[in-house]
Amino acid sequence: MNIIFLGPPGAGKGTQAKRLEQQYGIVQISTGDMLRAEVAAGTQIGLEAKGLMEAGKLIPDSVIVAMLESRIAKPDCAKGFILDGFPRTVAQAEALDAMLTRTDSRIDTVLVLEVDEEVLADRISGRFSCKSCGASYHDSFRPTQKDGVCDICGGHDFIRRPDDNRETVMKRLDAYNAETKPLLPYYESKGLISVIDGMAPIEEVSSQIDAVMDGITKLTKK
């Protein structure tokens, strides 16, 4: 089963993709990790990508799609894969479709996590974690029980990601809307869109996704 995850930064795609990976035995593919692996292995594609990066140039879609073709041919992708972060543009989606057609494969569904962007910005901009044990907190939704003290380890040092501020979050959301939202009508025209309420509790989001997965499984068995 081959899946694309779409949704703005912080919508929970990574959490759900990891769960699907464990539950269904399909592989979550990060194009960034894939690129680093190809460069480290010194493959032809990796060497080409390394040369482009060292020259300060963007990696062409054709190179990324070629790396993806090599990655999904590996045995651990036999049951399928999850793409989170690719494609980002219609041109990339078209290149991906061409590659999958050539390899006699296809995308089974595009899961779209819909969220309220204002609420999402509040969620992300309030996040912080314990420096000692990594426990996660939020200023409004999950503060520490005792101010300045970690509930788990009793630590007093907390950290916030530099980009977890409202201004940066809104810029990331604007970029998503400008670049990635045009993918929705592209995949909608193919009947692949499955909209998920990303504002629901995590367990409910998981149930919605599982219902989509069950529906695909039933169709493929017919």
Burial of 185 (C-beta count, 10 Å sphere; 0-12/13-18/19+):
exposed
Catalytic choice (19, 50, 131, 172): 172
142 is catalytic: no
Length of the chain: 222
Q: How far apart are CA 197 and CA 202, in angstroms?
A: 10
Catalytic choice (36, 74, 161, 190): 161
Structure tokens at 27: 């592989």
172 is catalytic: yes
Interior CA angle at 128 toward 123 and 129, to 5°? 135
127 is catalytic: yes
Name beta bridge partners: 196: 113
Catalytic choice (88, 142, 171, 181): 88
13 is catalytic: yes
88 is catalytic: yes
Catalytic choice (19, 50, 127, 131): 127
Active site residues: 13, 88, 127, 161, 172
